[in-house]
Amino acid sequence: MSNLSFRIPTPTFGLGLVENIPDATLEADAAAVAGQFGISGHFNHKKGGLDSDFNASGNTGTITRFGWKAQNPSLLVFAQEAYLVEQGVTNEGFTVERDVSDTSGCLYDAEPKDSTNLVRSINSGSPASDYASDVVNFAVFMRLSEPPVPAPATQSTINGGTLFKQVGCAACHIPSHTTTASIFTNQSYRTIFPYSDFQVHNLGDANADGITQGDANGNEFRTAPLWGVGQRIFFFHDGRFTDLLQAIQAHDPGPGNSQHSEAHQVIGNFNNLTASQQQDILNFLRAL
């Protein structure tokens, strides 16, 4: 197939808080920095009457925000898609096997393979979990996890945070958002720091994967949240980099490509910094 692309898993800590950011808050936070540093984003078409160009759910018009293309509207759908696509397990959200060829000769189990347990056959101490399907339990696990805690600030990380904003990184990697009321403990009206606008942006031809999901085309990817980035080993959607400096500079494909990344001006600003200033930004990111 010609539309295959490597993927590394997206971190799932703190995503219950991300799920609880109102659409209006995401829109307002993005509008506050719109047009800065040549960043426009690929705001997707309006759906459901929503005055927004985010990657939006076709059924409800709500902003989708999970996955490398921001293709999933909720953690439950995110878990359902991953269980089928990554693990090959059909579930109540995706009941049909992913292989569209004739598999009638090897389908020995009834579908879906993961579903709500109507008879309690497990006693884990949590009846709700015992009766729930795998994907519901996965979604709850993600929903209730806390975001990473940044390392203590140093003068270098403080300088790096200031430079991060000055060169324009924060035009996409918006530092903070505020959640709304939640039924879950400690998730209501919290200001969180994921460093993402949860929009999709054009990263240029050199970074294209040729895959369209929702309204995100082959050149476009969701702004990856940066909280916890200092604890990661691989960077970019396909994990091609282990060097954070290389990952930053790869945001702009550079000369010889028919289409520049939206980050062209920002990466130019970054490259014009001194080596010491660039190191401060790297130290700032590794402390998140």
Would the pLDDT of 92 be above 90?
A: yes
82 band by pLDDT with thresholds 50, 70 and 90: very high
| Domain 1-62+147-288 grouped into CATH 1.10.760 | yes
38 Cβ neighbours under 8 A, 6+ residues apart: 168, 262, 264, 265, 266
C-beta separation of 247 from 77 below 8 A:
no
pLDDT digit string, tens, across residues 229-254: 999 999 999 999 999 999 999 998 76
C-beta separation of 172 from 263 below 8 A:
yes
Look at 198 and 57; give whichever has higher pLDDT: 198
Tell me the Ramachandran region of residue 125: left when phi exceeds 0, alpha when psi lies from -120 to 50, beta otherwise: left
Three-class SS state of 154: coil
Q: Where are the alpha helices (DSSP H) in the chain?
A: 15-19, 23-31, 75-85, 127-131, 134-143, 155-167, 244-249, 264-271, 275-286
- Average pLDDT estimate for 20-37: 93
14-23, 63-72, 148-157, 206-215: least confident range: 206-215
**pTM score of the predicted model:** 0.90
CA-based angle 33:38:41, to the nearest 5? 65
Place of tokens 């300088």: 159
- What distance in Å separates the CA atoms of residue 222 and residue 69, rounded to the nearest whole number? 5
pLDDT digit string, tens, across residues 172-228: 999 999 999 999 999 999 999 999 999 999 998 889 898 888 888 899 999 999 999
User: What pLDDT does 65 receive?
Assistant: 92
